[in-house]
Structure 1
Amino acid sequence: MTASASGTSAKAVALANPWAVVPPLGNLDAYITAVNRLPMLTPEQEQHFAHELRANGDLQAAGKLVLSHLRLVVSTARQYLGYGLPHADLIQEGNVGLMKAVKRFDPDQGVRLVSYAMHWIKAEIHEYILKNWRLVKVATTKAQRKLFFNLRSMKQGFKADDAAENITHRDALTSAQIDVVARELNVKPEEVREMETRLSGGDVLLDPTPIDGDGEQAFGPIAYLSDEQHEPTAMLESAQRDTLATEGVAAALKGLDERSRRIVTERWLNVNDDGSGGMTLHELAAEYGVSAERIRQIEVAAMKKMRSALTECA
């Protein structure tokens, strides 16, 4: 069989059953080669299949519309390889957008499916890139998304202008260039600066696991970003200690009789920072006309009662 006859045979198979041309398994190159062999539909065929799908829900007609535009998805996905994501994944997401377009396509609007589907293909690819390019989403609003997908190409244009003027080693945008981008994309200059910073930066693992042979702990931002002083649990415990040391102690003292309260106050609360100033057991014993052992016993009982009161407050 000659090459010409082989090509004619493949085209005939594609026209009869387009699904047979696309390999179910294989590498990306084989898929792209198969997709490029699929025949394009004439405007009349496209209108016929679109009406069949819209009027009767004909899935075979939908399949032919999808398959005839797979090469468009491959071509569109290739434009986004600069984001470092797998070409196959970009094609897969674009195919999802193509199927959504086929489902919603109205043949009576007077436009070709290729023009209508382009929006849906790019929308799905854009969403995939925004979700997977960084761990943290870099664009949330419509204006930010537009800025994200245009800033890279505009920076390349600025670099080309710099090269023509023999200006080298300038990666960051100048103030004038930032104003140009902001004006053309209808965003604030501050948003351009922020997006440029996000695009030039990368993800950093907060708490990296050991990767060296000795099993030593790898150094990460968590080592210098942690703030134990303002950790919520520590702050609650500190606040609780402060409350017990002031209001709690005052309330516990009120629960003691006058003598016990005076002994505790003189022994524990009227003490200077250097440990001096409080009355001794013998001084208090002489004042109350009892033994020093008796003052110690009263002190122990009072402290036990106060601890019980403080526990209830906690």
Structure 2
Amino acid sequence: MTTALALTSSLQSPARFNMPVPVGNLDAYIQAVNRIPLLSPEEESRYARDFRDNNDLDAAGKLVMSHLRLVVSISRQYLGYGLPQSDLIQEGNVGLMKAVKRFDPDRGVRLVSFAMHWVKAEIHEYVLRNWRLVKIATTKAQRKLFFNLRSMKTGSGTLSDAEIDAMADALDVKRSDVVEMETRLSGGDVALEGQMDDGEEEFAPIAYLSDEHDEPTRVIESRRRDALAGDGLRAALDKLDARSRRIVESRWLAEEGEDLTLHDLAGEFGVSAERIRQIESAALKKMRGTLAEFRA
């Protein structure tokens, strides 16, 4: 049995990884995976190394289980294509397992960032495979129309009002549904990915497949920047002595027009401008080290 198949087989036993008991609907599943605790960076690194070096499937399972909520989050970006969210989640989970198999903890990247690519890739493939079906028939009424409308049409032209009313009555659907399905059937397929024309790729639906406003990568990056600019910067400044902090704040954090030059600070502290530059350089180096620890 290959590693991927063994991992998939192992995940079919929820109790092995402290998964809540099997659930019967999507809402219960989402609630269940949201209760699974997240791993700390140290735990994630340890489990990843155990799986990579020792083929420890229990460790791989813990990595997968702790990131199931990520797949649920990403799947919500693709709900506008008429596909069941449960199917989107299932495809995304396949991508998550592929990501765990290929994840290298020594590259300094968290699994959540690495797995996003694989989860999205699997969901994209699923949407691509089902694009035609999504455009033609999604609801029960549309499926009924899809299988009956062509055989009931007497010609290749547009349906008349009388024909529309007759089909709606015969199929027990709304008149608007008949009009909509006729429009869908008369249109051609739309390529999800753009084609190259004279060296330039045309605009295609793949360009707006997901809503980037709540895209997990952007959200994580934004939160990390906010943390570094707030708590991280305060922690770095608190580790400086009073003179070093005064120099850094006056040179780098003051409002425009209120910042001081090396010579201004030299006069304030009674030392040379070169000495102020040396103190500033040492303070910035110390702050970078503190920020690196905060980021980790």
TM range (shorter): 0.3 to 0.5
The higher-RCO structure (CA 8 Å, 6+ apart) is: 2
TM-score, scaled to structure 2: 0.45
